[in-house]
A and B are shown apart, each in its own frame.
Chain A
Amino acid sequence: MAANNHLTALNDFVVRFANVNGTGSASANDMFAKAIFRMGIPVSPKNIFPSNIQGLPTWYEVRVSEKGYLGRREGIDIMVCVNPQSMPKDIAAVRPKGYFIYDNTKELHKEFIRDDIHYLGVPMMQMCMDKFADPRQRQLLKNMVYIGALAALLDIEVPVLHGIITEKFKGKEKLITANFEALDMGFQYAKEHFQCPLSLRLERRDKVGDWIMLDGNTACGLGAVYAGATVLAWYPITPSTSLADAFGKYAKKLRVDPETGQNKFAIVQAEDELAAIGVVIGANWNGARSFTATSGPGVSLMSEFLGLAYFAEIPTVLVDVQRGGPSTGMPTRTQQSDILSAAYASHGDTKQVLLFPSTPKECFDFTAEAFDLAERLQTPIIVMTDLDLGMNDNMSPPLQWDDSRVYDRGKVLTAEELENMGERYGRYLDVDGDGITWRTIPGTHPTKGSFFTRGTSRDEYATYTEEGAAYVRNVDRLLKKWETTKQYVPGPEFYQEEKQNAFGVIFFGTTTYAALEAQELLAEQGITLDAMRIKAFPFNEDVRKFIRQHERVYVVEQNRDAQFRTLLMNELDVNPTKLVPILNYDGFPITAETIRQQIYKSLLGKLSPAFAEHEAAPPSDSEVEE
């Protein structure tokens, strides 16, 4: 192919690695992303992995974006393929004029040759066979060979890579040397055989500031440690397992009494999700901060207990790391498809409080906040993340904690307060008029404050009753508490100019990055939209106002049935035709282009004919230089 037929871009491209699950590729690929991050260039890596431990294809996709776009982008500019199983598909996935880097220890089959992409063969396996004796080492270091080749091809700073390797294998000098050697082999090979760097390349910038890179599950686990959670009960399920692991890891580091070696936490791997949430409810009822983490199938199983916690008013914290549903669905793919099952979890009239973080920092903040909210509101708080946020390293502002922060334990009566109480204590008596009643913790006072917690209907004094009027008083008070909740949960964030536009767009959670990018893409086309990111359910007045003020509002989300739109319609009595769904539900994180296209198409008829004609052609691909 002619030399001018190359993709050309500086700090703006997508690399995808095609690996075999269980071959140690993940840590090499992480180093690649980390090196770019340390060169001050915004980067967004995503693991696309199978529900498998070893042997199946797995991919790692890294988007580099100087502009700071962290959402996924379609189109692979560079494919690094070390998995023969997936090779035909991987070759097909490369954009015209892009690069296909592969292990040419074995010659590539003729039918795999496309004439519109560049093939860069590196004899990774051969070089490792020649250099290293141990078979497992050969396999692992093969990954470092392609990282070395990429360093030459893309201008990754080698000292940065060396730094990462040295940190990773600290104390294991032999491993450091071997990794350096493998890296160098790849680097030298590329230098000798290809024109380095490519026209797609990197250059150091100062665009990441003090940001950090971590996965949302780790951030949630840390949030729970900082918020004073002492009891974690959980059941293993992808993609939430690493959240429980993170809590355990940091609790062991930060929560062991130095004198006695005893733990200021308890972790129970329960027999199922029903037991996990049961433990959490029992512990919270008894005055400890307790939580669980799960995914969609777990939320289904926990529903009965969530109804109890709602109705009996027991603080409960649950993190739902959503994955592709329904049923077992796509366990290793991402979706935002538990919105309705979480919002209305359990039978009867129930409403659950949801929080929607969109960055690891918000995972940390919202998880910590969830414990305060749960105790303040005496109800379950469900933190809604997803696989994309939970399991991928995401760039994020650094985590922060205010040391003067005091946990909000909510309305809990002390022994002294009970002692001095003139009137009879009523567990469900709304003495403050905000729908939130005072609770007592078992063991507080010998003769005052005890009550019976139950899932059955009860009066203000927690006494069982089937009297209709008492039941209605109780559930109406729960509605009043629901109104109060709106003051406590985080309000929406707005992204808009002072002058208001006719059209608006609503998004939440991991849809944020792609939606903000789409907003900019559309603006470049002359379509300006006001944007609102929702952070919590119940929705407050600002949400209602935003929808009222716009002629049409796009609701961007990652599920088939536009569940968030349904929730808005249901809770705010919005005219359904006003809310237009923008959807993506194939299990991959939503992209800005998907959003742009759908909004653009929907607006074509709405805009003036002249504009539509003018803008009908798709934007030219500025990244491709002929």
Chain B
Amino acid sequence: MTFVRPTFRHPESPKNALGYTKKFYEGALSTLCAGCGHDSVSGAIIQACFEMAVEPHKVAKLSGIGCSSKTPTYFLANSHGFNSVHGRMPSVATGANLANRDLLYIGVSGDGDSASIGMGQFVHAIRRNLNVTYIIMNNGCYGLTKGQDSATADVGSVSKSGAANMYQAIDMAGLALELGATFIARSFSGDKEQLIPLIKAAMSHPGFALIDVISPCVTFNNNPGSTKSYDYTREHIETTGAVDFVPIMTEITTRYDEGNSVTVPLHDGSVIQLSKLAKDWNPLDRHSAMNKLYEAKTTGEILTGLIFIDTHAPDLHHILNTVKKPLNTLGEKELCPGSEALEKINAGFR
């Protein structure tokens, strides 16, 4: 286990706009290994939700199976959670979202969960532009079953067992880009500065928001030779630039050079500011994002940051033209056509 959390909190802990302290956003004690990258990601989610002043009960957190999928227990104790079956979180999240469009959906998955057993569901959730913040805690291995290579492990990457992986890696960000995902980011569990604003931006994005987080497995894949270790990731990271998330009704205080920054307004009024961008880089252009991603891949760099965003694509509810009122709030009056209509239907069958 990572740590024993003290129950004592400073009475003057800072409060957010709703008057909640950060403690209100925490979950149960983690049972993952000490130093697990996933716990840092949980921490980032807690921090992002606290800073965004999200109502925890208006969040639903869903996951599949695996170490990563255990984490929803470790954050947002006042949110409903759903630890579903292996690789099937996207479908459960789709149903949940269709039932109530007003909640915020956080889907947590791993590389085994999303890149192998649940690849089909991952792909199709993207196609539908499901409004969900989809976090992949990507460690290149199956932690819960003791370290087998996963489908995101790079060719030649050596796990704790000493064997080099022989198969091509699936790049989840690249795949999502190709599939038409509308928000694609990559980050590193060890880089909270970047991860927290990315999570906030993803939660504000009205569609499928993927954050592929390199989250090292300290027990089975943190050894020399692994391309998903803390050391390797730190050495090879290349950020696309700084990411700032400015929530609605907040003044933009950071100023960047106009030449290499982009301001992306979101529908809810908040703003994402991207700065220190490379010259050949435009996160609003899918082609440019693809080139950049491919370039990084060929030079062996791990590209992080917000890789691509499209704020205009309609989400699943818009595509299906559903009513604004959540479907789960509709009752007999709104849903049942009544006996008179049925009599007419009967007449048509005579």
Contact = CB atoms under 8 A, between A and B. Distances in A.
Interface of A: 37-38, 210-214, 222, 225-228, 230-231, 233, 250, 254-255, 257, 260-268, 270-272, 274-288, 290, 304-305, 308, 398-403, 405-407, 440-447, 450-456, 463-464
B280 interface: no
Interface stretch (B4-12, B86-94, B250-258, B307-315): B86-94
Interface string B62-73: 100000000011
B57 A268 contact: no
B337 interface: yes
A442 B350 contact: no
A226 B95 contact: no
A450 B322 contact: no
Q: Which of B79, B91, B320 has the most CB atoms of chain A within a 10 A radius of its CB?
A: B91
Contacts of A287: 99-100, 328
A20 to B, nearest CB: 28
Interface string B224-247: 000000000000000000000000
Nearest to A211: B350
A260 B323 contact: yes
Contacts of A446: 55-57, 78
Contact of A275 (B124, B324, B330, B341): B124
B30 to A, nearest CB: 12
A402 B345 CA distance: 15
B327 A231 contact: yes
Contacts, number: 228
Contact of A267 (B77, B320, B339, B346): B320
A399 B81 CA distance: 40
B321 A453 contact: no
A450 B77 contact: yes
A454 B328 contact: no
A225, A271, A282, A463 interface centre (most CB from chain B within 10 Å): A282
5 contacts: A212-B349, A264-B327, A278-B95, A282-B99, A447-B78
B344 to A, nearest CB: 10
A263 B323 contact: yes
A85 to B, nearest CB: 33
Given A210-B346, A282-B82, A446-B55, 13 more contacts: A227-B336, A250-B337, A262-B324, A272-B120, A275-B121, A277-B91, A282-B99, A290-B95, A442-B80, A452-B82, A455-B84, A456-B83, A463-B28
B230 to A, nearest CB: 28
B335 A285 contact: no
Given A271-B124, A403-B338, A453-B81, A286 B73 contact: no
B327 A279 contact: no
Interface in B15-66: 28, 55-58, 60, 62
> Which 9 A-B residue pairs are closest in the complex by CB-CB distance?
A282-B95, A278-B91, A288-B99, A283-B95, A442-B80, A287-B328, A286-B99, A282-B92, A212-B349
Contact of B92 (A254, A268, A279): A279
A452 B83 contact: yes
A488 B94 CA distance: 31
A227 B337 CA distance: 10
Contacts of B124: 270-271, 275
Contacts of A398: 346
B339 A401 contact: yes
B13 to A, nearest CB: 17
Contacts of B332: 228, 405-407
B1 interface: no
Nearest to B82: A453
B169 interface: no
A400 B335 contact: no
A440 B85 contact: no
Contact of A255 (B84, B328, B335, B345): B335
B320 A266 contact: yes
Nearest to B343: A398
B323 to A, nearest CB: 4
Contacts of A263: 320-323
A229 B339 CA distance: 17
B85 A271 contact: no
B350 A285 contact: no
Contact of A213 (B72, B99, B331, B349): B349
A276 B98 CA distance: 13
Contact of A226 (B62, B82, B317, B337): B337
B80 A399 contact: no
Contacts of A213: 349-350
Nearest to A208: B350
Contacts of A210: 346
A296 B53 CA distance: 47
A610 B350 CA distance: 50
A452 B337 CA distance: 35
B102 interface: yes
B80 A279 contact: no
B304 to A, nearest CB: 30
B249 interface: no
B96 interface: yes
B133 to A, nearest CB: 15
Contacts of B91: 233, 270, 274-279, 282
Given A274-B91, A275-B121, A401-B336, A231 B99 contact: yes
